[in-house]
Amino acid sequence: MRPKLKLKALCLQLFKLSSYFELTRPDLRIVETDTGAAYYPGERKITLPLYTGEKRSHEVRLLHEFAHYLAHSRTGKPQLHRLPFVEALWDVVMFWYGDPTLYPWHTDFVKVEKYALSRMKKEGYAVHTARVDQVPR
């Protein structure tokens, strides 16, 4: 059974993230195609698929895409999965969960996970390095 989309919770999540980081709230669109989640910098829009797999919830996907928006806002340029993005994702995760071990880093891109594991080690968090599945680089 596919996880149910909780639109009100996602809108509230987006409102809280935007408020905390003092950004204009991006538009949120739910798409019925299976293209995955995306951030569109020219439109200040985040799209999420109607259905998502069990490993990456809508909440996690929204955090990831919001980090693209935050990195773009900080640098003035759209950011892929490089340092400005991973630093933004770290900040988003720390705001949302308060503990980086609660985010499923192993479901993200390999270099994003490596950054997070390295930073968690430096900051004294318990680090788990077993990667169940490989996400494309």
DSSP 16-47: HHHHHTT-PPPEEEEESSSS--EEETTTTEEE
The pLDDT score that the predictor gives to residue 126 is: 83
* Domains within the chain, CATH numbers bracketed: 7-102 (3.30.2010.10)
What's this model's pTM, rounded to 2 decimal places?
0.88
- Give me the phi and psi of 81, to 5 degrees please: -95, 50
The pLDDT score that the predictor gives to residue 135 is: 42
pLDDT along the chain (137 residues), means of 10: 75 97 96 84 92 82 97 94 96 97 93 94 80 43
The pLDDT score that the predictor gives to residue 137 is: 38
